[in-house]
Structure 1
Amino acid sequence: MLQILVPGATYDRSYWDFPGFDGRYSYTAHAARAGQATLAIDPIGVGKSSMPVGWQVSAPSAAQAVHEAIQAVRNGGLGRTWSKVALVGHSFGSLTAMLEAGTYHDVDGLLISGASHAPGPGGIAVIVGAARPALDDPTTADSVPTGDISYLSVPGARERAFHAPGDSDPQVVAADEATRVAGTIGILATIPVFIPTTFDIAVPVLIANGTADKVFCGQGGGGSLTDCSSADALYGSERPFFPKAALATYVLPGAGHSMNLALNGSEFFGYAASWVHSMAGS
């Protein structure tokens, strides 16, 4: 089985293989040690992906781009042919993954991290309040189309919205902030379209959140209605949205929104690897 990894907004594929720190925060390195194959991709409009006009990049077009990547690996377009594919997302990448799986029904499993159906207004407000045109942010200005102000950056938002103070290394937080990337305004405006598609997802689904996620969990203090106090509580919050799926849930104690970068993130990596292993039947 191949895992295709989709990062969240303001991240590129390096979220899954976070550089430095002896690989401690690398999902891909942990998966490789478990004998599992991964392919981390840049969403449309990000990193080495194509860069359309920012307002034209919608949630459906982002999901279509992921769908095309899935078809490519199944058909041998990237080398080896893979008969089983799991889609793994973080944050907005999870929302894209749910939209893709619920629309195209072409994956064998879905791992959702850093996401729920009830984002908190407080967490969202921190992100929106930090947003500015990527052209006005020296870190991202050279990575977006010339003159396109519909690409956005969120300098200063990570420490306040993505990390839990008690479960993060200040050096990791600083490195995360320094490597922020731009996202598009179009996908932000259209992302709620993923919600009805989850009712039709009929493959195994794992939802994994940090208990202190300010964006998507009530315990994070951002006003989310999702209960992440325990795996059972998270299951109760999300089960109604996945009536056809074999649903499993996991919470990483104390972790913030970007749970890969939590001090105890390796616990999530280990659980994810075990879930993928059992789902793949290998």
Structure 2
Amino acid sequence: MLIKSLALVTLITAASARKCTNITVPVSLTSQNAVFTIKAPLTGIDVTSLAINLARQGAPPYPEQVQKGFTTVSGNYELAATYCEPDAGPGKELQIMTHGIGFDRSYWDFPYNNYNYSYVARAVDEHGYSTLTWDRLGVGASSKGDPLSEIQVYLEIAALKTLTTKAREGSLGVGCKYSKVVHLGHSFGSVITYALANESPELTDAIVLTGFSQATAYLGLFAVGSNFVPITATPLADKYPAGYVGVSSTVGIQINFFAEGDFDPKMLEVAYEKGQPVSPGELLTLGAPAGKNNTYTGPVQIVTGSRDVPFCGDNCYSTISVDEKLPSLLDISRQFFTQASRFNTTVVPGAGHGLNFGYSHTVTYDSILEFLSELA
């Protein structure tokens, strides 16, 4: 893949209190990726079989059954990102946000209803932060790659580390550098953020994991509930290599991201229209990083909707399957973050997995921004 010189394009936003710029960040990445004995799914039957296999109970999990070690993957890539800061100049600190499966960086600054659902608008306009959202490697306007062997969680962790290092060093091309950086993730983006804090804790001053828990029993619901089809059967067929999989209708989006009574039906349609596919490499590796104890010593917050399907089985308050003494499934993570300087869990009542898309998004944003403000 060719590295282009850093390109800046001014982005006109709906909010007058912030300045946003689209940037393309060239990066050189290396990771130890998993080697799988299966091929990327190309037909509807292949895709459905993959989803069913991922949902199968029992040990060892399907990804472990089809993995035969690791191999080094290296390459030059481009990461598409958007940098925002207050009109007055760079904010008090930088928030780097990593989106999850099914969407691109617009998840954090969603244009629906005049940006009423935008977390970026709240963070920049009302609280004076700078923000950096990015399309994960293999998604949106960022570089694509082999959907099975290349686009895996491990390479995406490397991408976030490199992006963060550039932000701290001042080599993003936005005219400033940041000594204080916090990381936010959603869903799969939270898994990537979890790994960054564990492997390179010096890169982040705090982490916020949204749409996340370490109750792994329900991830199979995401696989089968998505109603995945080959990318060749979707409107994005000409933008992604064969082997990617996408959601076939609003049904899969509603099952996995929206909670009954907490969303505008028009928002569901827009979320489906703006949706992005996922690589089988991501689906097969997404669980690995969050299964490790995290030695991060900084502040940690976990924010998840009470009716999150992939991470709570539609009921984050039901903990009988793990420990009925726990107040929520989010609190499983306390045993993983034993060294965190501060640990907070927030269950958003009535919210689904796609927190930024619900009527309850204001509760989500309030909880995050209050948590971060108390760290200042």
Q: TM-score normalised to the size of structure 1?
A: 0.90
The within-5 A match list for 1:80-229 is 80-105=176-201, 106-119=203-216, 120-121=218-219, 123-127=221-225, 130-138=227-235, 140-145=236-241, 148-149=242-243, 151-156=244-249, 157-220=252-315
Which stretch shows the higher mean deviation, 180-189 or 59-68?
Answer: 180-189
Aligned equivalents of 2:205 and 2:327: distance in 1? 24
Which protein shows a greater Rg? 2
**2:104 aligned with 1:12:** yes
Paired position in structure 2 for 1:42: 135
Query: How far is 1:198 from its partner?
Result: 4.2
Residue identity matched to 1:74: R
- Which of the pair is proportionally richer in helix? 1
* 8 Å Cα contact 1:217-1:225 kept in structure 2: no
SS in 2 for 1:86: strand
Q: Deviations over 1:100-137 (max 9, x none)?
A: 21112221111000011114156324345x11221221
Unaligned runs of 5+ in 2: 1-92
Q: Closer, same or farther in 2 for the Cα pair 1:218/1:183, shift >3 Å?
A: closer
SS in 2 for 1:192: coil
Alignment partner of 1:237 out of 332, 350, 355: 332
Q: Closer, same or farther in 2 for the Cα pair 1:225/1:168, shift >3 Å?
A: farther
Aligned equivalents of 1:45 and 1:155: distance in 2? 19
* 8 Å Cα contact 1:74-1:81 kept in structure 2: yes
Unaligned runs of 5+ in 1: none
Q: Deviations over 1:46-79 (max 9, x none)?
A: 1111111111111111100000000010000123
Query: How far is 1:184 from its partner?
Result: 1.2
Aligned equivalents of 1:182 and 1:122: distance in 2? 17
Q: Deviations over 1:127-176 (max 9, x none)?
A: 45x112212212x212213xx22x11122311122100211111111110
SS in 2 for 1:153: strand
Paired position in structure 1 for 2:86: none
Q: Closer, same or farther in 2 for the Cα pair 1:121/1:113, shift >3 Å?
A: closer
Moved over 4 A (4+): 223-227
* 8 Å Cα contact 2:102-2:277 kept in structure 1: yes
SS in 2 for 1:48: coil
Residue identity matched to 2:240: V
SS in 1 for 2:310: coil
Paired position in structure 1 for 2:90: none
Paired position in structure 2 for 1:250: 346
* 8 Å Cα contact 1:153-1:182 kept in structure 2: yes
* 8 Å Cα contact 1:102-1:201 kept in structure 2: yes
Give the number of equivalent residue pairs. 272
Aligned equivalents of 1:190 and 1:215: distance in 2? 15
Alignment partner of 2:154 out of 38, 60, 69: 60
Q: TM-score normalised to the size of structure 2?
A: 0.68
How much is the aligned-residue C-alpha RMSD, in angstroms? 2.2
SS in 1 for 2:156: helix
Q: Closer, same or farther in 2 for the Cα pair 1:182/1:236, shift >3 Å?
A: closer
Query: How far is 1:226 from its partner?
Result: 8.2
